[in-house]
A and B are shown apart, each in its own frame.
Chain A
Amino acid sequence: MKIPMKSSRRENLAAYVFLSPILLFFAIFFAFAVGFSVWISFREWDMLISPLDAVFVGPSNYVVLFSDPLFVSSLVNTVIYAFSTTIAVVILSLLIAVALNNLRYSAVWRFIYFAPVVTPAVAIGIIWSYLYNPSRGIVNEVLGWLGIPAHNWLTDPHYALMAIIIVAVWAGMGASILIFTAGLRAIPQSYYEAARIDGATKVKMFFSITLPLIKPTTLFLSVTGMIGAWQVFDLIYIMGTNAPASSVQVISLYIYKTAFVNLQMGSASAAAMILFAIVLVTTLFTLGIFRKGGIESYE
């Protein structure tokens, strides 16, 4: 139950004292950059002339984007990528975190599961290119035992995005497992003891104790996972360069290329604003889902 509380003047003051360094930071390193980007998104700017000399073009940067088939396919690819990785990462890492929680040598296991997080993206790209190699790679080898024909995972337009999503889930799980582990540690053992005395099964305990009490963590990982996935760049930049662009390119790569290959910062900023609008709506939607389904408001 949420107890309605009036904010006292002292609490207001304390809150803003706590928040003041953060707000100052955002004013300097966020507000100026975003304000500038909004302003330049209505202009044509090659980043070589002074931005003050950039020609005003009205909303045409925004309009033109939607007539570019590559922007539209980038949008579609991003949606597929964002939803599938986020959902898979949250579910899998919760299961693994629970499995690891009371395991013997849990410190060793935690390290093993954390290994992809410390491994730089470039190394991940190299190793997975080996694994996905059509003739030499383990992936086709193992699938061959099951009688599945070989595929060119990273170049075939039908499979490339899926292949990268699998790597993303694999690479993203470590951090989520760590955060879930911290969350699970915060659940009082006494709850489980009481349930055990009542004769509850492990599965029942998972659904009636673990799942509701881990909800703040699940919300956190879903929201940040989604925000991160919408902006995926590194993995696609490293592993998605050999497949047709329309089948793997995502928005942040589109923005990057528009800015630093085409030198059209105005257009790139417009695309970034559209990306922002989509991510914002998705985030509010996710927060809404968690608010509705809960016994307690976390928002």
Chain B
Amino acid sequence: MNKKRKVTGMIKYVFVGLVGVAMITPFYWLISASLMTLQEFLSVPPKWIPSDPQWHNYVEVFKHVPFLNYYFNSFVVAILSTVMVLLTSAMGGYAFAKLNFIGKKLLFKFTLSTMMFPAFLFLIPNFYIITKFGWTSNYLALVMPFAVSAYGIFLLRQFIMGIPSDLIDAAKIDGASQFAIFFRIIIPLTQPALATLAILSFIGQWNNFLWPLIITSFSPELTTVPVGLSKLSLAFSTYTNQNLILAGTVLEIAPVVALFLYLQRYYIKGIVLTGFGGI
């Protein structure tokens, strides 16, 4: 019995390890390639370790493009929209999961249906609206069209449904208002889901390209990191600057990695907070 368990444990580690190698490889390659010279980057067979790490590739990126400005813009945009997405998703998720109201089923299906149209359909009409609001040279143009996420509402609805209704009923009997229930019970209990949504929403905004490209072509001072990087590359698919672009890409994803590592603890914390040994 014990031996068998050990063997299955081994198999599990081997499986998880092998797939893990496949998962981390491109990430590793990206960092490694960003430290290569152009010649090395183009060598055959492809190199996996830079023979002489070119740290100055990163310096070059900062020299070529006002990267700190791009960082600042990206942070403002990603944080503002993530905060809004978290708030609206929790509110919507709670309403759909725990409240009974007229038109609930229909509204929920409507919410899902907003995800079913390709993004470029919205390009022209929404840009038109943004210009009518006079937001084109404003962070609002980059944030507001992403303030609500149907994906986020759906995700939190699924998690909030798992919270026992007894908890809510008990609070109601104690005379708690809906808002008190929302902020004192629902929000603390959904921390793992909120952390997940925060990281996914942040990544989505941080890497968002097409919309910020259109907006910032009118107001370059709002340029975000991915749009700035695209200007570093040549018009056609050539390799000039390719290694610099990879260094820029590493700089692009570094904050996302940091955020992920920071938010990890909420996976554990969420459970500890409830005091139920689980929700």
In the complex with contacts A34-B117, A280-B113, A120-B20 CB distance below 8 A: no
Tell whether, in the assembled complex, residue A7 and residue B46 are in contact, meaning their CB atoms are under 8 Å apart.
no
Residue of A nearest to B89 (CB): A22
How many residues of chain B have a CB within 8 Å of chain A? 85
Tell whether, in the assembled complex, residue B16 and residue A103 are in contact, meaning their CB atoms are under 8 Å apart.
yes
Interface centre among A114, A187, A231, A275 (most CB of B within 10 A): A114
The verdict on A148 contacting chain B, using a C-beta distance below 8 Å, is: no
Tell whether, in the assembled complex, residue A186 and residue B279 are in contact, meaning their CB atoms are under 8 Å apart.
yes
Which residues of chain B (178-195) have a CB below 8 Å from chain A? Answer: 178, 182, 192-193, 195
The verdict on B276 contacting chain A, using a C-beta distance below 8 Å, is: yes
Tell whether, in the assembled complex, residue B192 and residue A119 are in contact, meaning their CB atoms are under 8 Å apart.
no
Please measure, in the bound complex, the distance between the C-alpha atom of A179 and the C-alpha atom of B154, giving whole angstroms: 12
Tell whether, in the assembled complex, residue A127 and residue B116 are in contact, meaning their CB atoms are under 8 Å apart.
no
The verdict on B171 contacting chain A, using a C-beta distance below 8 Å, is: no
In the complex with contacts A12-B101, A216-B162, A224-B154, A136-B45 CB distance below 8 A: yes
Contact code string B244-279 (vs A, CB < 8 Å = 1, else 0): 001001001100110011001001101100001111
In the complex with contacts A16-B101, A112-B23, A123-B246, A220-B155 CB distance below 8 A: yes
Please measure, in the bound complex, the distance between the C-alpha atom of A115 and the C-alpha atom of B26, giving whole angstroms: 8
- One of B59-67, B140-148, B213-221 at the interface: B140-148
Smallest distance from the beta carbon of B214 to chain A beta carbons, Å? 12
Tell whether, in the assembled complex, residue B161 and residue A298 are in contact, meaning their CB atoms are under 8 Å apart.
yes
Interface centre among A10, A21, A187, A275 (most CB of B within 10 A): A21
Tell whether, in the assembled complex, residue A18 and residue B92 are in contact, meaning their CB atoms are under 8 Å apart.
yes
Contact code string B78-101 (vs A, CB < 8 Å = 1, else 0): 000000000010011011000111
Tell whether, in the assembled complex, residue B111 and residue A118 are in contact, meaning their CB atoms are under 8 Å apart.
no
Smallest distance from the beta carbon of A29 to chain B beta carbons, Å? 5
Tell whether, in the assembled complex, residue A127 and residue B122 are in contact, meaning their CB atoms are under 8 Å apart.
no
Residue of B nearest to A213 (CB): B162
Please measure, in the bound complex, the distance between the C-alpha atom of A15 and the C-alpha atom of B91, giving whole angstroms: 9
Collect the chain A residues with CB atoms within 8 Å of residue B22's CB.
170
Collect the chain A residues with CB atoms within 8 Å of residue B120's CB.
255-256, 259-260
Tell whether, in the assembled complex, residue A96 and residue B19 are in contact, meaning their CB atoms are under 8 Å apart.
yes
Q: Which of B15, B110, B115 is the one whose CB lies under 8 Å from A99?
A: B15
Q: Which of B23, B99, B270 is the one whose CB lies under 8 Å from A174?
A: B23
Q: Chain B binding site: helix, strand, loop or mixed by DSSP?
A: helix
The verdict on A57 contacting chain B, using a C-beta distance below 8 Å, is: no
Which residues of chain B (144-183) have a CB below 8 Å from chain A? Answer: 144-145, 147-148, 151, 153-155, 158-159, 161-162, 178, 182
Contact code string B1-44 (vs A, CB < 8 Å = 1, else 0): 00000000000110110011011111101100000000000001
Collect the chain A residues with CB atoms within 8 Å of residue B24's CB.
112, 115
In the complex with contacts A11-B101, A15-B99, A189-B278, A119-B116 CB distance below 8 A: no
How many residues of chain A have a CB within 8 Å of chain B? 91
The verdict on B114 contacting chain A, using a C-beta distance below 8 Å, is: yes
Smallest distance from the beta carbon of A283 to chain B beta carbons, Å? 6
Contact code string A200-218 (vs B, CB < 8 Å = 1, else 0): 0000000000000000110
Tell whether, in the assembled complex, residue A118 and residue B260 are in contact, meaning their CB atoms are under 8 Å apart.
yes
The verdict on B102 contacting chain A, using a C-beta distance below 8 Å, is: yes
Residue of B nearest to A121 (CB): B207
Tell whether, in the assembled complex, residue A33 and residue B121 are in contact, meaning their CB atoms are under 8 Å apart.
yes
Smallest distance from the beta carbon of A17 to chain B beta carbons, Å? 8
Tell whether, in the assembled complex, residue B116 and residue A32 are in contact, meaning their CB atoms are under 8 Å apart.
no
Tell whether, in the assembled complex, residue A283 and residue B91 are in contact, meaning their CB atoms are under 8 Å apart.
no
Contact code string A242-257 (vs B, CB < 8 Å = 1, else 0): 0000000000100110
Contact code string A104-121 (vs B, CB < 8 Å = 1, else 0): 000101111111111110
Tell whether, in the assembled complex, residue B126 and residue A19 are in contact, meaning their CB atoms are under 8 Å apart.
no
Collect the chain A residues with CB atoms within 8 Å of residue B252's CB.
120
The verdict on B232 contacting chain A, using a C-beta distance below 8 Å, is: no
Tell whether, in the assembled complex, residue A224 and residue B151 are in contact, meaning their CB atoms are under 8 Å apart.
yes
Tell whether, in the assembled complex, residue B101 and residue A118 are in contact, meaning their CB atoms are under 8 Å apart.
no
Please measure, in the bound complex, the distance between the C-alpha atom of A62 and the C-alpha atom of B278, giving whole angstroms: 52
- A–B complex contacts, Cβ < 8 Å, 30 sampled: A6-B100, A11-B178, A15-B101, A25-B88, A32-B129, A33-B121, A99-B12, A109-B20, A112-B23, A118-B253, A119-B26, A119-B30, A123-B30, A127-B29, A175-B200, A181-B192, A182-B159, A182-B195, A186-B192, A190-B278, A217-B159, A223-B154, A224-B115, A224-B151, A255-B121, A272-B118, A272-B121, A275-B117, A280-B116, A283-B116
- A sample of 11 more A-B contacts (CB under 8 A), given A22-B92, A136-B44, is A19-B91, A29-B144, A109-B20, A112-B23, A113-B20, A120-B253, A173-B23, A179-B196, A182-B196, A185-B192, A216-B159
Closest 7 CB pairs of A and B: A188-B278, A15-B101, A7-B100, A33-B125, A182-B192, A115-B27, A216-B158
